[in-house]
Structure 1
């Protein structure tokens, strides 16, 4: 069986697909995999660590501000469609699977033209443009939340939850303290700027640290090429632009996570029951994602336009209140579906079966 995977630009569309890759390989050790992604996105390093062949195609992304790049967007999409047709024709997959992203759109269209089944997964509370453009050409769709069932064609849409990678769930907490040189007796705050980085959040963290007590231990993942000048602070501060195989260990030891509101990250935190302060990117789907977790009492929302002093007070308050940490953790767990990876994998395989039945 051959499965072509697509996604990139950010890691949000990548991590749930990799979770399904692990389940596919567990069920069929002979499965062949090919990933189609972007040239400059952060996904290649992570994908290749899983032993999946990676191929780049031309792709275009709609920018929601005035820029000349939007003028050439139709031509880049058309070029991406030709690239996709060539890849699919030469490699001949049994199914295409993706979880959104602009690079997946021409792949989906090409698969439909070549009568190759496509399964797509919707992570976020609000459907992204890529999945809205892909869904009419998909064999089936899985969604993370019940509300999303009404956003796609109902007969082809299934509620599954969001797939989680095995290593996220299996990381040993005790070994992780030693890996990073951290103490289990002092509060640990993990800051996630996202795979491509969040400059505003990174700057806010740098301004916040001098207002935190010196017993705090802060691990700050800035995003690729987004390293910042370390602050003048006497507490323990570790900065990374990207954590690959060490990310599960970082999540394992965190007492509190300060993060953007990408649904891939939030559902990993839910699976682990990690309390979070969510700083959504203003004016984006992340605000809807954040609101979902806040309404469920699973996280606390913080505006990136608020002051560093206020963020330091919030972090200190939560980390000093064991009851609140426990309450947030319990509510986080309730937003996770442990069977999500298996359910989505079932749908990918069902799409293959549907094609083979149609070809008879």
Structure 2
């Protein structure tokens, strides 16, 4: 039995695949099946360590982006996608998987196109409240469509409606729980004060970084700041912060980190009093599972079609407040952080409101369906 995964090049596309891989390994062990060969076909490996730990082999498949604005690169990337489709055809013909699981994103298009041509069953998973173009394309010929928000079903073609099921967002097993014991020592945090965890997504967020730096002196007066800056922004943010906090008595409370690995994220989430985050579906699902009050700052719709819809769908639970990027100022962010951390009852109500938003069994539900289709195809 062989299973191939594919998806775009962000953490939101990648880490649900890791979660499904973990669940597959558990199911195979429980049902005493022969372990399947697992492959990940995409433009980049994203996290080689996570793939290796789950026995997933990475195969490079080129893919071009179709941007939502006029760009000459949209034309050149058509040729990249064509080359990627040829590469995917040859790869799928060689490994011939029993099912292809797609998380969407531009990186998935060549592989799902090739799978369709080879008549390999396809399962797609849509994390967002408003589906992306890659998944809307793949939905026309997908065997099963898994969604995370009920509202996203209406965007899919009428003839695909019978193939849709709400599963929720697959979350890695380790992130289903948070670690509080020893977390402050591990992260070097000051005791007995609030902790603000700032996440800009797997690649960071320049606008959030700028606003945080603009009110950093006041933020560290409130509590510890754990700030995931993004790899590309880390050096610049750290340098600016060093200047801003040069004479601040609370300088040691600021902790910039380029990227929080699994262990660090478990501990940071465990001690967080409030989380400031983008509105990626994965990020929201994890915050909901952790039952932490949140300040959600979606990417503008002109850049990302989905985050604003995700943010307000989550905010309806009462677990979060939404700050639109165009309205975001240092004063507004600071006042919202202060309002939540200074009112323990409000923070507790917000955290409790998140209960039930994230389905902890999503990865297992999807893994079971993947196995079922793969076994049927294998026969």
TM-score normalized by the length of structure 1: 0.93
Which whole-Å deviations, capped at 9, do the CAs of 1:130-172 have from their partners, x for residues lacking one? 1111111211011112222333312111111111110002342
Aligned match of 2:312: 291
Report 1:186-265 matches (<5 A).
186-227=193-234, 228=237, 229-231=239-241, 232-233=244-245, 234=248, 235=250, 236-245=253-262, 246-265=264-283
1:211 and 1:309 in contact (8 A); partners too: no
Indicate the SS of the match to 2:254.
strand
Report 1:25-36 matches (<5 A).
25-29=25-29, 30-36=35-41
Q: Structure 1: which 4+ aligned runs deviate by more than 3 Å?
A: 41-51
Of 336-345 and 131-140, more deviation after overlay is shown by 336-345
The whole-number CA distance in structure 1 between the counterparts of 2:288 and 2:72 is: 40
1:99 and 1:120 in contact (8 A); partners too: yes
The whole-number CA distance in structure 2 between the counterparts of 1:270 and 1:133 is: 29
Aligned match of 1:37: 42
Shift of 1:90: 1.3
1:42 and 1:195 in contact (8 A); partners too: no
Shift of 1:320: 0.9
- Residue among 339, 346, 351 paired with 2:368: 346
- Residue among 52, 57, 61 paired with 2:56: 52
- 1:81 paired with 2:85, answer yes
Indicate the SS of the match to 2:232.
coil
The whole-number CA distance in structure 1 between the counterparts of 2:261 and 2:220 is: 29
Shift of 1:51: 4.2
Aligned match of 2:299: 281
Indicate the SS of the match to 2:124.
strand
The whole-number CA distance in structure 2 between the counterparts of 1:125 and 1:181 is: 37
The whole-number CA distance in structure 1 between the counterparts of 2:186 and 2:51 is: 23
Report 1:1-360 matches (<5 A).
1-29=1-29, 30-39=35-44, 42-44=46-48, 46-152=50-156, 153-227=160-234, 228=237, 229-231=239-241, 232-233=244-245, 234=248, 235=250, 236-245=253-262, 246-283=264-301, 284=304, 285-305=306-326, 306-356=328-378
The whole-number CA distance in structure 1 between the counterparts of 2:150 and 2:99 is: 25
Shift of 1:350: 2.5
The whole-number CA distance in structure 1 between the counterparts of 2:8 and 2:228 is: 19
The whole-number CA distance in structure 1 between the counterparts of 2:17 and 2:318 is: 28
TM-score normalized by the length of structure 2: 0.89
Indicate the SS of the match to 2:11.
coil
The whole-number CA distance in structure 2 between the counterparts of 1:210 and 1:16 is: 36
Which whole-Å deviations, capped at 9, do the CAs of 1:169-191 have from their partners, x for residues lacking one? 23421132222122452111111
The whole-number CA distance in structure 2 between the counterparts of 1:315 and 1:254 is: 12
Shift of 1:43: 4.1
Task: Point out where structure 2 has 5 or more consecutive residues left out of the alignment.
Answer: 30-34
2:27 and 2:368 in contact (8 A); partners too: no
Count residues in correspondence.
356
> RMSD across aligned C-alpha pairs, in angstroms?
1.8
Task: Point out where structure 1 has 5 or more consecutive residues left out of the alignment.
Answer: none
Of 107-116 and 334-343, more deviation after overlay is shown by 334-343
Shift of 1:251: 2.0
Shift of 1:215: 4.8
